[in-house]
Amino acid sequence: MVQTPGLTPNAPPSPLLPPGVLRKLLGLLAVLGLVLGGGFYWQLRQQALEQRLLRTFQATPTLAVYRLNPQVRWGRVRLSGTVPSPSLKAQAEQIAQQALPRHRLESKIEIPTVPPPPEVIQDNAQQAAATLSQTLNLELATTYNSAQQQLVVQTPDLSATQLQQVTQVMEQITGVRSLVIKVASNRHPLEQRIYFETNETQIASSDRQGALLQLAQYLKANPNITLNVIGHTDQSGGERYNQQLARQRATVIQQLLVAQGIAANRLFIRGDTNLPPNVLVNDPMNKSRCVRFEVVNLEE
């Protein structure tokens, strides 16, 4: 067997790196992985907090129309955007502090001194109407008159509480100096419903001047029509209480119609604890708190 000088047969190959250097390199890679992984985790967490805060703003009717931008960075939350009044700025800041109490708040929200262009005001009003329609289960349409700086809101149905909420949101829109809310239903007078607040038997003034007045005028023009006046409640109370409340609501509507010149013997009252027609169990409860009308006798 011939051996080459200087070489040992079957000798293991030399390692590329000494063992000590290799261990240090692996340790460095492990630390780097932890740092990068931790940074990625915190980045995802900060983004999740930003999205949660943004959803809270969007779910608040008075703020949903405005573009607020929350940024969460290492124990701080920074708010930027534009709102029309100091009260809305304070509301946004309070929401951020309540949502992220351990974060330091930096508010960069601005309050403009110059009204935006009319098309921006109209867009803001439409966005506010869309948000309110969804949260309050309403049908709202808006028209902005730039010459008078007047915003007109039209809706077929509106309770007293809903009227207050719609007014609060719409009056805050920058560039709106006057607000007009019109409750005008396209429904037939007999198809309209009068809505009530929880446990209440009194109706809003808008219903007195709107749906109820239209119904009284229709009954005067059609003296042969006799109605069942049927009161309803939501499902939150007991059967006996709901029956009494439903009948009381029907009685109130009967009395109001009598006060407008409709004979009491044309209005038969009834309380019904079942859901009104076309109202489902999963629908908002305010749709159940109503009085509706059925024709008893119609003579041609």
Over residues 79-110, the pLDDT tens digits come to: 998 888 888 899 999 999 998 888 899 999 98
Q: How many CA atoms, within 13 angstroms, populate the side-chain half-sphere of residue 271?
A: 17
Q: What is the pLDDT of residue 2?
A: 52
Residues of the chain with CATH 3.30.300.30: 33-110
What percentage of residues in the chain have a pLDDT greater than 70? 80
Determine the CATH number of domain 118-183.
3.30.300
Shortest CA distance to 279 belongs to which of 157, 148, 106, 188?
157
Other Cβ atoms less than 10 A from the Cβ of 46: the count is 15
E-strand stretches of 125-173: 141-145, 150-155
pTM of the model: 0.47
Low-confidence ranges of the chain (pLDDT < 50): 38, 298, 300
Contacts of 28 (CB under 8 A, 6+ apart): none
Q: What is the pLDDT of residue 300?
A: 44
Q: What is the pLDDT of residue 62?
A: 78
Q: What is the pLDDT of residue 40?
A: 62
Q: Give, in degrees to the nearest 5, the angle at Cα 88 between 84 and 92.
A: 125
| pLDDT per residue as tens digits for the range 168-213 | 888 888 888 888 887 765 667 788 888 888 888 888 666 666 778 8
Read off φ and ψ for residue 195, nearest 5 degrees.
Answer: -105, 155
| Architecture of domain 33-110 in this structure | 2-Layer Sandwich (3.30)
Residues of the chain with CATH 3.30.1330.60: 189-297
Shortest CA distance to 289 belongs to which of 238, 225, 250, 234?
234
Q: What is the pLDDT of residue 46?
A: 82
Three-state DSSP state, 152: strand
CA 287 and chain centroid, separation: 16
Contacts of 185 (CB under 8 A, 6+ apart): 156, 157, 192, 210, 211, 214
Please name the fold of domain 189-297: 60s Ribosomal Protein L30; Chain: A; (3.30.1330)
